[in-house]
Amino acid sequence: MAQAQTIEPRTAGGLGATERRDAWWVGPLATGLGLGGFVIYATFRAIYNADYRFGEGTGILPDHAYVLSPFFSPLLVFPWLPAWISPAFLILWAPGGFRVTCYYYRKAYYRAFFLDPVGCAVGEPGQFCGVPRGHQYKGETKLLVFQNLHRYFLYLALVFLVLLTIDVIDTCRWPTDNGGHKFGLSIATLVLATQTTLLTLYTVSCHSFRHLIGGRLDGFSRAPLGELRYRLWSWVSALNAHHMFWAWTSLFAVGFADFYVWMVASGRITDFRLI
Ligand code: FES
Protein backbone atom coordinates (compact mmCIF):
# COMPACT_ATOMS: atom_id res chain seq x y z
CA MET A 1 0.00 0.00 0.00
CA ALA A 2 1.30 3.43 -0.93
CA GLN A 3 2.43 5.56 2.00
CA ALA A 4 0.73 8.94 2.39
CA GLN A 5 3.33 11.66 1.86
CA THR A 6 3.74 14.05 4.79
CA ILE A 7 4.84 17.59 4.01
CA GLU A 8 6.53 19.23 6.95
CA PRO A 9 6.62 22.99 7.40
CA ARG A 10 10.18 24.18 7.11
CA THR A 11 10.21 27.56 8.75
CA ALA A 12 13.83 26.99 9.68
CA GLY A 13 14.71 26.94 5.99
CA GLY A 14 13.69 30.56 5.55
CA LEU A 15 11.24 32.22 3.20
CA GLY A 16 10.03 29.96 0.41
CA ALA A 17 11.68 26.76 1.67
CA THR A 18 9.32 23.89 0.90
CA GLU A 19 9.01 20.39 -0.46
CA ARG A 20 5.86 21.32 -2.36
CA ARG A 21 6.08 20.87 -6.10
CA ASP A 22 2.92 22.77 -7.06
CA ALA A 23 2.76 26.46 -8.00
CA TRP A 24 1.96 27.56 -4.44
CA TRP A 25 3.28 31.06 -5.12
CA VAL A 26 0.65 31.89 -7.78
CA GLY A 27 -2.10 32.61 -5.23
CA PRO A 28 -0.15 35.05 -3.04
CA LEU A 29 1.33 36.76 -6.12
CA ALA A 30 -2.06 37.20 -7.80
CA THR A 31 -3.54 38.46 -4.53
CA GLY A 32 -0.73 40.97 -4.11
CA LEU A 33 -1.12 42.29 -7.65
CA GLY A 34 -4.92 42.36 -7.54
CA LEU A 35 -5.39 43.88 -4.11
CA GLY A 36 -2.40 46.19 -4.42
CA GLY A 37 -3.58 47.45 -7.81
CA PHE A 38 -7.09 48.07 -6.52
CA VAL A 39 -5.88 50.00 -3.46
CA ILE A 40 -3.62 52.18 -5.62
CA TYR A 41 -6.43 52.85 -8.12
CA ALA A 42 -9.02 53.63 -5.43
CA THR A 43 -6.64 55.95 -3.58
CA PHE A 44 -5.81 57.77 -6.81
CA ARG A 45 -9.49 58.22 -7.67
CA ALA A 46 -10.28 59.53 -4.20
CA ILE A 47 -7.45 62.08 -4.41
CA TYR A 48 -8.30 62.94 -8.05
CA ASN A 49 -11.75 63.92 -6.78
CA ALA A 50 -13.34 64.71 -10.16
CA ASP A 51 -15.41 63.09 -12.92
CA TYR A 52 -17.28 60.90 -10.45
CA ARG A 53 -20.82 61.70 -11.68
CA PHE A 54 -22.71 62.88 -14.70
CA GLY A 55 -26.26 63.47 -15.85
CA GLU A 56 -29.14 65.60 -14.65
CA GLY A 57 -28.16 68.29 -12.16
CA THR A 58 -24.40 67.81 -12.52
CA GLY A 59 -23.59 70.14 -15.42
CA ILE A 60 -22.21 67.16 -17.38
CA LEU A 61 -24.64 65.58 -19.89
CA PRO A 62 -27.67 67.37 -18.35
CA ASP A 63 -30.11 65.46 -20.63
CA HIS A 64 -28.89 62.13 -19.20
CA ALA A 65 -30.14 60.26 -16.11
CA TYR A 66 -28.07 60.87 -12.98
CA VAL A 67 -25.12 58.47 -12.59
CA LEU A 68 -22.79 58.38 -9.57
CA SER A 69 -19.59 56.39 -9.07
CA PRO A 70 -19.80 53.79 -6.26
CA PHE A 71 -16.56 55.20 -4.83
CA PHE A 72 -18.45 58.41 -3.99
CA SER A 73 -21.81 56.96 -2.95
CA PRO A 74 -23.44 58.29 -0.83
CA LEU A 75 -22.16 61.67 -2.00
CA LEU A 76 -21.33 63.66 1.13
CA VAL A 77 -20.33 67.24 0.29
CA PHE A 78 -19.87 69.62 3.21
CA PRO A 79 -19.03 73.21 2.17
CA TRP A 80 -17.16 73.81 5.44
CA LEU A 81 -14.68 71.00 4.75
CA PRO A 82 -11.35 71.83 3.01
CA ALA A 83 -11.53 71.16 -0.73
CA TRP A 84 -8.71 68.61 -0.54
CA ILE A 85 -10.86 66.30 1.57
CA SER A 86 -12.54 64.25 -1.13
CA PRO A 87 -16.11 62.98 -0.56
CA ALA A 88 -14.72 59.51 -1.29
CA PHE A 89 -12.56 59.60 1.84
CA LEU A 90 -15.67 60.26 3.94
CA ILE A 91 -17.29 56.97 2.95
CA LEU A 92 -14.67 54.54 1.60
CA TRP A 93 -13.53 53.59 5.12
CA ALA A 94 -16.77 51.62 5.56
CA PRO A 95 -16.58 49.26 2.53
CA GLY A 96 -12.79 49.28 2.94
CA GLY A 97 -13.12 48.17 6.56
CA PHE A 98 -15.58 45.47 5.51
CA ARG A 99 -13.03 44.04 3.08
CA VAL A 100 -9.99 44.45 5.33
CA THR A 101 -11.69 42.52 8.15
CA CYS A 102 -13.26 39.90 5.82
CA TYR A 103 -12.31 36.36 6.86
CA TYR A 104 -11.30 35.45 3.30
CA TYR A 105 -9.28 38.61 2.63
CA ARG A 106 -7.42 38.21 5.93
CA LYS A 107 -6.02 34.89 4.74
CA ALA A 108 -5.28 36.34 1.33
CA TYR A 109 -3.41 39.45 2.40
CA TYR A 110 -1.68 37.88 5.39
CA ARG A 111 -0.09 35.57 2.83
CA ALA A 112 0.50 38.11 0.06
CA PHE A 113 1.69 41.11 2.03
CA PHE A 114 2.92 39.78 5.40
CA LEU A 115 4.09 36.34 4.21
CA ASP A 116 2.54 35.01 7.42
CA PRO A 117 2.50 32.29 6.27
CA VAL A 118 3.15 32.71 2.56
CA GLY A 119 1.60 29.28 1.97
CA CYS A 120 0.84 25.98 3.67
CA ALA A 121 4.06 24.05 4.40
CA VAL A 122 6.16 26.87 2.95
CA GLY A 123 8.94 28.49 4.95
CA GLU A 124 8.45 31.95 6.42
CA PRO A 125 11.07 34.64 6.90
CA GLY A 126 12.74 34.48 10.31
CA GLN A 127 11.86 38.10 10.85
CA PHE A 128 9.55 40.67 9.31
CA CYS A 129 10.39 44.38 9.13
CA GLY A 130 13.20 43.75 11.61
CA VAL A 131 10.92 42.03 14.15
CA PRO A 132 11.80 38.38 14.86
CA ARG A 133 8.92 36.00 14.24
CA GLY A 134 8.40 32.87 16.23
CA HIS A 135 5.90 31.43 18.62
CA GLN A 136 4.89 34.80 20.09
CA TYR A 137 2.01 35.14 17.62
CA LYS A 138 -1.01 36.47 19.48
CA GLY A 139 -3.53 36.01 16.70
CA GLU A 140 -6.31 38.56 16.62
CA THR A 141 -6.24 39.26 20.34
CA LYS A 142 -3.57 41.98 20.37
CA LEU A 143 -2.45 44.11 17.41
CA LEU A 144 -5.09 42.64 15.09
CA VAL A 145 -7.96 42.81 17.57
CA PHE A 146 -9.77 45.29 15.29
CA GLN A 147 -10.51 42.36 12.97
CA ASN A 148 -13.29 41.44 15.39
CA LEU A 149 -15.21 44.52 14.21
CA HIS A 150 -16.16 42.62 11.07
CA ARG A 151 -19.79 42.04 12.05
CA TYR A 152 -20.27 45.79 12.57
CA PHE A 153 -18.79 46.55 9.15
CA LEU A 154 -21.29 44.02 7.82
CA TYR A 155 -24.17 46.10 9.19
CA LEU A 156 -22.73 49.16 7.43
CA ALA A 157 -22.27 47.17 4.21
CA LEU A 158 -25.97 46.25 4.26
CA VAL A 159 -26.84 49.96 4.45
CA PHE A 160 -24.52 50.64 1.50
CA LEU A 161 -26.32 47.99 -0.55
CA VAL A 162 -29.55 49.95 -0.14
CA LEU A 163 -27.81 53.18 -1.20
CA LEU A 164 -26.19 51.55 -4.23
CA THR A 165 -29.55 50.09 -5.27
CA ILE A 166 -31.01 53.62 -5.16
CA ASP A 167 -28.12 54.72 -7.42
CA VAL A 168 -29.11 52.05 -9.95
CA ILE A 169 -32.74 53.25 -9.86
CA ASP A 170 -31.51 56.83 -10.46
CA THR A 171 -29.84 55.70 -13.70
CA CYS A 172 -33.30 54.72 -14.97
CA ARG A 173 -34.90 58.16 -14.40
CA TRP A 174 -34.29 60.19 -17.55
CA PRO A 175 -35.27 63.86 -17.60
CA THR A 176 -37.97 64.95 -20.06
CA ASP A 177 -38.47 68.31 -21.80
CA ASN A 178 -41.41 69.24 -19.56
CA GLY A 179 -39.37 68.84 -16.36
CA GLY A 180 -40.56 65.32 -15.53
CA HIS A 181 -38.90 61.92 -15.81
CA LYS A 182 -39.43 58.77 -17.81
CA PHE A 183 -37.96 55.29 -17.64
CA GLY A 184 -34.80 54.52 -19.58
CA LEU A 185 -31.73 52.30 -19.55
CA SER A 186 -28.15 52.88 -20.63
CA ILE A 187 -24.88 50.96 -20.43
CA ALA A 188 -24.24 52.77 -17.14
CA THR A 189 -27.38 51.13 -15.71
CA LEU A 190 -26.03 47.69 -16.58
CA VAL A 191 -22.59 48.51 -15.17
CA LEU A 192 -23.97 49.80 -11.85
CA ALA A 193 -26.57 47.02 -11.62
CA THR A 194 -23.88 44.38 -12.17
CA GLN A 195 -21.58 45.76 -9.51
CA THR A 196 -24.45 46.14 -7.02
CA THR A 197 -25.57 42.56 -7.67
CA LEU A 198 -22.06 41.21 -7.16
CA LEU A 199 -21.60 43.32 -4.03
CA THR A 200 -24.89 41.91 -2.73
CA LEU A 201 -23.72 38.34 -3.37
CA TYR A 202 -20.39 39.10 -1.67
CA THR A 203 -22.17 40.61 1.35
CA VAL A 204 -24.80 37.91 1.86
CA SER A 205 -22.17 35.18 1.42
CA CYS A 206 -20.26 36.71 4.37
CA HIS A 207 -19.54 34.36 7.28
CA SER A 208 -20.96 36.91 9.72
CA PHE A 209 -24.16 37.23 7.69
CA ARG A 210 -24.51 33.46 7.75
CA HIS A 211 -24.17 33.59 11.53
CA LEU A 212 -26.68 36.42 11.67
CA ILE A 213 -29.21 34.28 9.80
CA GLY A 214 -28.65 30.88 11.37
CA GLY A 215 -26.29 31.29 14.31
CA ARG A 216 -26.97 31.13 18.05
CA LEU A 217 -29.73 28.57 17.59
CA ASP A 218 -30.04 25.14 19.18
CA GLY A 219 -32.43 24.09 16.44
CA PHE A 220 -34.30 25.75 13.62
CA SER A 221 -37.46 23.79 14.41
CA ARG A 222 -37.78 25.45 17.84
CA ALA A 223 -36.79 28.97 16.76
CA PRO A 224 -39.24 31.73 15.79
CA LEU A 225 -39.57 31.75 11.98
CA GLY A 226 -37.39 28.64 12.05
CA GLU A 227 -38.55 27.30 8.69
CA LEU A 228 -37.83 30.60 6.95
CA ARG A 229 -34.48 31.00 8.70
CA TYR A 230 -33.48 27.49 7.71
CA ARG A 231 -34.24 28.21 4.05
CA LEU A 232 -32.32 31.51 4.16
CA TRP A 233 -29.42 29.85 5.98
CA SER A 234 -29.30 27.10 3.32
CA TRP A 235 -29.14 29.68 0.51
CA VAL A 236 -26.56 31.77 2.31
CA SER A 237 -24.48 28.65 3.03
CA ALA A 238 -24.50 27.76 -0.69
CA LEU A 239 -23.27 31.27 -1.55
CA ASN A 240 -20.78 31.19 1.32
CA ALA A 241 -19.02 28.20 -0.27
CA HIS A 242 -18.00 30.56 -3.10
CA HIS A 243 -17.20 33.61 -0.95
CA MET A 244 -13.74 34.05 -2.52
CA PHE A 245 -15.30 34.20 -5.99
CA TRP A 246 -17.79 36.88 -4.92
CA ALA A 247 -15.00 38.78 -3.15
CA TRP A 248 -12.92 39.11 -6.32
CA THR A 249 -15.69 39.60 -8.88
CA SER A 250 -17.34 42.30 -6.76
CA LEU A 251 -13.98 44.03 -6.23
CA PHE A 252 -13.28 44.23 -9.95
CA ALA A 253 -16.89 45.18 -10.71
CA VAL A 254 -16.87 48.14 -8.33
CA GLY A 255 -13.51 49.30 -9.70
CA PHE A 256 -14.75 48.99 -13.28
CA ALA A 257 -17.98 50.88 -12.43
CA ASP A 258 -15.96 53.82 -11.14
CA PHE A 259 -13.68 53.68 -14.18
CA TYR A 260 -16.68 53.69 -16.52
CA VAL A 261 -18.23 56.73 -14.80
CA TRP A 262 -14.85 58.49 -14.94
CA MET A 263 -14.48 57.85 -18.68
CA VAL A 264 -18.01 59.07 -19.50
CA ALA A 265 -17.89 62.09 -17.18
CA SER A 266 -14.56 63.19 -18.65
CA GLY A 267 -15.93 62.91 -22.22
CA ARG A 268 -13.62 60.08 -23.29
CA ILE A 269 -16.45 57.65 -24.10
CA THR A 270 -20.22 57.85 -24.69
CA ASP A 271 -22.78 56.14 -22.51
CA PHE A 272 -25.22 54.60 -25.01
CA ARG A 273 -28.88 54.63 -24.14
CA LEU A 274 -30.51 51.23 -24.69
CA ILE A 275 -34.16 52.07 -23.98
S1 FES B 1 -16.26 37.00 5.78
FE2 FES B 1 -15.82 38.04 3.94
S3 FES B 1 -17.21 39.68 3.97
FE4 FES B 1 -17.61 38.68 5.88
pLDDT lower than 70: segments of the chain = 1-13, 127-139
**211 close to ligand 1 (CB < 6 Angstrom):** no
* pTM attached to this predicted model: 0.89
Backbone angles phi, psi at 247, to 5 degrees: -60, -45
Model pLDDT, residue 194: 98
Model pLDDT, residue 7: 46
Distance 11 CA to ligand 1 centre (A): 29
Q: Where are the domains of the chain?
A: 24-127+139-205+242-265
Model pLDDT, residue 128: 60
Residue 34: exposure state from Cβ atoms within 10 A (0-12, 13-18, ≥19): middle
Which protein residue has the closest C-alpha to ligand 1 atom 2? 102
DSSP 218: S
Model pLDDT, residue 176: 96
Give the C-alpha separation, 186 to 65, whole Å. Answer: 9
Model pLDDT, residue 127: 62
Four-CA torsion 263, 260, 109, 214, nearest 10 degrees:
160
Which atom in ligand 1 lies closest to the alpha carbon of residue 203? 3
Model pLDDT, residue 1: 44
| Share of the chain residues as helix, strand and coil, in percent rounded to the nearest 5 | 55, 5, 40
Model pLDDT, residue 185: 97
**71 close to ligand 1 (CB < 6 Angstrom):** no
Model pLDDT, residue 104: 96
The H or E element that residue 183 is part of is: strand 181-183
